[in-house]
Structure formats: structure tokens, C-alpha cells
Amino acid sequence: MQARSPLKIQIAVLHALLIRELKTRFGSYRLGMAWAFIEPILQIAVFMGLFYFGGRDSVGGLELPLFLATGIAPFLYFQKVINQCMNAVTANTNLLIYRQVRVFDTFLTRFLLEAITSFIVLAGIITATWWLGYEVNFVNTLIFIYAYILLSILAFGLGLIFGTVNTLFPEIGKFIPTLLRPLMFISCTFFTINDLPSDAQSILLWNPLIHAFEFMRSSFSYDYNTSLLSLEYLEVWALMSLTLGLLVLRANWRRMLTS
């Protein structure tokens, strides 16, 4: 057998793990991939109903379904990355018997799969809104993609941290989903930061997710107010979370092999 380069091994392992995750995630349900669409669409529909009774059909210059899609879908993505990373190691313990498969690979695979799926879902929902006759204008695609990437890095870093904690200390890990649940209501998923009183704004703006979602929305309208937001703040969060996540993993991955 010839020695392969580390890069080749890495690619081979990611490929194998991706197929394994796809099979166990989507393969076992008859609706398969459709589930990835159903959850955000249902949530968007519920909020649309609420807004409809409230008599609003646009927020911050964006039509309602587009406004909700750019908050709810990315939030579900963020949540899913963390949930998937929490169990990345325990779900793959059997496969860590092969020396090619390292703990980091299990995290990376789950993250990549979620990043790709969720991006397709988000793009699909936005296309569907446009197809249904709502107004969808891309005025700054780059900021949309950049905010999505920063959100991804932030989620992956936190996923590494929470995943490590959950693998080594499952009792503490049980609290993490409970702590994350209220996040949906303080992350501007179905409202905009601009509509809030200034006291609330100054507190909520500490939440990096708001900056990600609001910047993504701003890419659909020239008039979207971004004066309160800071891309630098989001960048620092993303960078810190990934750095800390990688450090935590590096310090602990060997302990996770036998847990």
C-alpha cells in the first residue's frame, strides 16, 4: 500500500463520512431531504399568519415572507449546527476505530452537511417567495454571502465547544439546548432591531446573531437601516468562537476517543 498525502486522506474521510451522514439523516425517512424544507417553511407560515392578523405585510421595506425567511431559516441553521455538533462524537464512536477518522472529522462533516443543506434551503425559500410574486431584489449579494459565512463560522465554533462539553460532561450538556431555546426570541428572527425602543436595542445588540440576520436582510433593500449594526462585531465573535472551539477540541480530543 502506498502512503497517501494527508490532504488526500482528509478528503477521502470527509467524503466517506458525508455519505454516511446523508444515509442515516435523510435516507431513513421517506420524505428525506424535504424535511429540511418543511421545518423552516412551517415556522415562516405560522409567523406570517400572526403578522397577517396584526395587519402588517412588510417590515423594514422587505415583504413579509422574505423578511421572515432571512431570520427564521438562518436561525434554524445556527441551531441545527449546534445540535448536530453536540452529538457528532457519540454518533460516530464506532467509526473512531479507524485511525484515518479523527474526532475533528466528525464535527467538520456534520457542519459541512448542515451548511450546504441550509444554504440550499434558504436559497430555495427565497426563490419560492420570488416565484410566488413577492418582491425580491438583490442589491448586495456579497454582504448576504459574507454574513452567512460569518454566521457559519460562529455556529461551528460554538458547535465545537458545546460538542466537546456534551461528549465529556453529558450532564452539563443537557442544559445547553434549554439555554439556547429562548435565543430565538431575542435574535431578531421575526422582528427588526430598528423597531425596538432604544433601551432594548442597546441590550439586544450584544447578540451577534442579530447582526448576522439584519445584514442578510439589508442585502435585499437599499433602504434597510443598518446604522445600529456592526460587521466588525460579528467578525470578532466568529473569530473568537472558532479559535476557542479549535483550542478546546485540541486540548480534549484524545479524551473523547474512549468516552
Partner 1 sequence: MITFKNVTKYYPTPQGRHYILKEVDLILPGDVNIGVFGANGSGKSTLMRLLAGVDFPNKGSIKVEGNVSWPLGLSGYQGSMTGRENAEFICRIYGKSKEEINEKIEFIKAFSELDNFFEMPLKSYSSGMRSKFSFAVSMAFDFDYYLIDELTAVGDKRFKEKCRETFDAKKGVANFLFVSHNLNELKRQCDIGIYIKEGKIHVHDSIDDAIAAYNSM
Interface residues with partner 1 (CB under 8 A) are 1, 4, 8-9, 12-13, 15-16, 19-20, 23-24, 28, 94-101, 254, 257-258
Spatial contact of 229 and 207, defined as CB atoms under 8 Å apart: no
Shortest distance (Å) from residue 84 CB to partner 1: 16
What is the CB neighbour count within 10 angstroms for residue 97?
A: 8
Of 230 and 259, CB closest to partner 1: 259
Inter-residue contact 188 to 213 (CB < 8 Å): yes
Q: Between residues 1 and 179, which has the closer beta carbon with respect to partner 1?
A: 1
| 95 vs 228 by CB, closer to partner 1 | 95
Locate cell 465554533: which residue? 157
Q: How far is the CB of 215 from partner 1 (least distance, A)?
A: 38
Write down the residue that cell numbers 412588510 correspond to. Answer: 58
Which of residues 104 and 130 has its CB atom nearest to partner 1 in the complex?
104
Minimum CB separation from partner 1 for residue 81, in Å? Answer: 22
Residue 58 C-beta: closest distance to partner 1, Å: 46
Shortest distance (Å) from residue 82 CB to partner 1: 23
- Please say which residue, 10 or 207, places its beta carbon nearer to partner 1: 10
**Sign of the alpha-carbon dihedral angle for 135, 140, 78, 22:** positive
Give me the amino acid identity at 61: G
Contact between 62 and 146 under an 8 Å Cβ cutoff? The reply is no
- Determine the Cα–Cα distance for residues 19 and 68; give it in Å rounded to an integer: 32
